Structure 1
Amino acid sequence: MVKHHLFWPLVMLGALLLFNLLYSPDFFSVQMRAGKLYGSLIDILNFGAPLILVAIGMTLVIATKGIDLSVGSIVAIAGAMACMTLSKGTDQNMLGLVLSAVGIALVLALALGLWNGMLVAAFGIQPIIATLILMVAGRGVAQLITGGQIITVSSSAYKFIGAGSLLTLPFSIFIAGAVLLIAALLTRKTALGLFIESVGCNPEASRLAGIRSRVVMIAVYMFCGLCAGIAGLLLSANVSSADGNNAGLWYELDAILAVVIGGTSLSGGRFYLLGTVVGALIIQTLTTTIYMIGVPPEITLVVKAFVVLLVCLIQSETFRKTLVHRFKTRRYPAEREVKRHA
């Protein structure tokens, strides 16, 4: 059981939740107000939904031995495009206008994912460089869309996407759950998951075996772009505004950390979607914890990085074996000396 890829992530998530419970006894309390559930646990799921979406897409990209550093910029671009489209309408609550804004933003996110996939698969550019281009330029594109301003919208229909509720739970949870379900079905109930893992292990051997590795790689980058686009809609709808400069900032790093914490290797191959979700929840819970205990803003990132490093070290089997070996050699030095002379 200890060797299961979900064991240590779940242990760390449980440890974080236990710390919060000890620090704040009402941390687990959930209240019903105006037909909606409120509480710290609900907030973790609600605010963690965008990161879960981005991390799901990142998981499949990393499974092909790739990386996507542009997801944060795509988050900003999608939110900016949706809010800009809404702001130009005469009636922002009109369902057709909202659907158009959402559709345009998601199509744009798919196109950006296609751009990344073409650079990597068709032109052979290293993934970290190919996506770094859009990471840098995309933030500028988002600011060009918004004109360097924070665009605010007053559409209650659009706000429902990020701040609405369904069956007493935040609507964003259902969106993240639906995307996770679709991704799991496509990768575990069809041959697509096997193709992705095969490409991640050896793309050339996969091609020789008849797998269209370039098509698979382009598809996963497009899916990653789509996930980032949906996350951008959730973030912008939640605050009814679009900030091209700060929306989705550092999301690419949090998504990569969530994937790694969840047990997926950066060297490609085997991937774990549920592990990624747990990793994203760990990061969101950690963020909530840092804000709750009042860590000064200037050292927040340092504390977050230290805790994530600790989680990764605990997950490392090599690190654990080294600790056990040193503990045994210090505890039984005489026995070790006898064995050496025997």
Structure 2
Amino acid sequence: MSRVLTNRLFWPVVVLLALFAVNLVAFPGFFAIEVKNGHLFGSLVDIVRNGAPTLIIAIGMTLVIATRGIDLSVGAICAIAGAISCSIILGSPDPGNVGTVVVAVITALLVALVLGLWNGFLVAVIGVQPIIATLVLMTAGRGIAMLITEGQILTVNSAPFKTLGSGFLFGIPVAVWIAAAIFALAALLTRRTALGLFIESVGINPEASRQAGLRSRGLLFSVYTFSAVCAAIAGLVLTSNQTAADANNTGLFIELDAILAVVIGGTSLAGGRYSSSAPWWARSSSRRS
């Protein structure tokens, strides 16, 4: 029992249950879920779908914070990804074409990859403090998105693109599937390989990790790039749900929500271990070894 009470996730879970209880009293139908046209609808479904972009960004932010860093540029990258995708779709003669949407999404992700490399370059090579390095892109990113959209809100009418934010797959919102896939990928890479140990090592003691032969520079490039790509995916989901690219408001302050989610999840802002307890597959692997 004492082990449960001392777990970092104990009080967040208690507060979450308390919120559920309050909502149940205030709104008796809060937990009601119904099926319409083969799709799930209800307050809980809406909460999970609308929280998916924050979850996606929080996954990337977790790895960054675990290395003693921070990424304040994720909101701006959301806006840039949305602006790029909508610009490409609107510039196409057939906005509803699946190929056009695929090109738009891939282009947005590639640009985010470059932006992530830029953040990693400032932190790992130049030696700029992470909060300052990412603040540069946080400030300039909105301006870049405004340049792409020419200061306008770009409204798109593309059914394939709209699927990312408001579509359904097997009755569950596509955004939830995307968030679950990214979570599973990050969990497998960091818990089934040595990558998670390397990230924690750099966060606990960068100098000792370097002397032990760990190439922390490449690791920092990786986590900042991954964070930027996660932000771009979240931006595509947000833009798709809005069916418009708004350079000023897409992903506004979402970096603060993501950081809060990471901290509530048990990750220390001081870096190092980013999970209050290892997942079951990590525990079973350690027992076998």
Instruction: Write the distance in 2 (CA, Å) between the matches of 1:237 and 1:100.
Output: 15
- Change over 3 Å in CA distance of 1:273–1:241 after alignment to 2: farther
Cα contact 1:59–1:273 (8 A) shared by 2? no
Number of matched residues?
A: 275
Trace 1:215-254 onto structure 2 (pairs within 5 A). 215-254=218-257
Q: Supply the AA of the counterpart residue of 1:245.
A: N
Aligned partners of 1:191 and 1:111: how far apart in 2?
Answer: 25
| Contact map agreement 2:166 2:241 (CA 8 A) in 1 | yes
With 90-99 and 221-230 compared, the bigger mean Cα shift is at: 90-99
Contact 2:142–2:247, Cα closer than 8 Å, also in 1: yes
User: Which of residues 28, 35, 48 is equivalent to 2:38?
Assistant: 35
| Cα distance between partner residues in 2 of 1:82 and 1:219 | 24
Deviations 1:180-212 (Å, cap 9, x if unpaired)?
000000000000000000000111111111110
Larger radius of gyration: 1
Aligned residue number for residue 129 of structure 1: 132
Offset of residue 240 of structure 1 = 1.1
Is residue 209 of structure 1 aligned with residue 212 of structure 2? yes
Q: How does 1:144-223 map to 2 (within 5 A)?
A: 144-223=147-226
Moved over 4 A (4+): none
Match of 2:91 in 1: 88
Give aligned-pair identity as a percent. Answer: 58
CA offsets 1:205-239 (integer angstroms, 9 cap, x no match)? 11111110010011000000000000000001112
Task: Write the distance in 2 (CA, Å) between the matches of 1:150 and 1:21.
Answer: 38
Contact 1:93 1:155 in 2 (8 A): yes
The Cα RMSD (Å) is: 1.2
In structure 2, what is the Cα distance between the partners aligned to 1:208 and 1:156? 53
More moved, 265-274 vs 108-117: 265-274
Match of 2:146 in 1: 143
Distance in 2, matches of 1:98 and 1:57, equals 24
User: 1:171, 1:240 → 2: CA distance?
Assistant: 15
Question: Is the aligned partner of 1:45 residue 2:38?
Answer: no
- Return the offset for 1:5: 2.1
**TM-score of the superposition, structure 2-length normalised?**
0.93
Cα distance 1:226–1:75, how it changes in 2: closer, same or farther (>3 A)?
same
Can you give the 5+ residue segments of structure 2 that lack an aligned partner in the other structure?
A: 279-289
| TM-score, normalised relative to structure 1 | 0.79
Are 2:115 and 1:109 equivalent residues in the alignment? no
Contact map agreement 1:82 1:233 (CA 8 A) in 2:
yes
What are the ranges of 5 or more consecutive residues in structure 1 without an aligned counterpart?
A: 276-342
Q: Which amino acid aligns with 1:47?
A: N
- Give the Cα–Cα distance (whole angstroms) in 2 for the partners of residues 163 and 273 of structure 1: 33
- The secondary structure found in structure 1 opposite 2:35 is strand
| Contact 2:96 2:160 (C-alpha < 8 Å) held by counterparts | yes
1:298-317 to structure 2, matched below 5 A, reads none
Q: Secondary structure at the match of 1:264?
A: coil
Decide which of 26, 29, 34 is 1:26's aligned counterpart: 29
Per-residue deviation, 1:110: 1.1
Question: Pairwise mapping of residues 260-271 of structure 1 onto structure 2 (< 5 A)?
Answer: 260-271=263-274
Once residues 21 and 179 of structure 2 are traced to their aligned partners in structure 1, the CA distance between those partners, rounded to angstroms, is: 25
Looking at structure 2, the residues matched to 273 and 53 of structure 1 have their Cα atoms a distance apart, in angstroms, of: 19
Q: Name the CA shift for 1:139/1:127 in 2 (closer, same or farther; >3 Å).
A: same
What CA distance in whole angstroms lies between the structure 1 residues aligned with 2:101 and 2:227?
Answer: 23
Residue in 2 aligned with 1:5?
Answer: 8
Cα 1:189–1:86, aligned 2, differ >3 Å: closer, same or farther? Answer: same
Distance 1:192 1:100 in 2: 31
